[in-house]
Structure 1
Amino acid sequence: MAAAPAARSLDAYPFNDTFTLGCGGPELGSHVPVAPPLPRGTDPGDTRGETGTPLTADTLLSGWATIGGSRAYCVLVVDQNHIVIGGGLIGLPGSVAKTNTAAPEGMAWQAIAPAGATIGGVIAVTTGKSYRLQAQE
Structure 2
Amino acid sequence: MFKTHHISTYLRKSRVSATNFNSISHCPSQILLQFSSISSLKVIWRKDRRLDEAIENDKVCNLCRRVVKEVLNEPGQVIPLRYLEKRKERLRLSVHIKTFLNKNPGLFDIYLDRIKPKSQPVPFLRVSSRLRQ
TM-score (norm 1): 0.23
**Relative CO higher for 1 or 2, CA cutoff 8 Å, sep ≥ 6?**
1
Which structure: greater helix fraction? Answer: 2
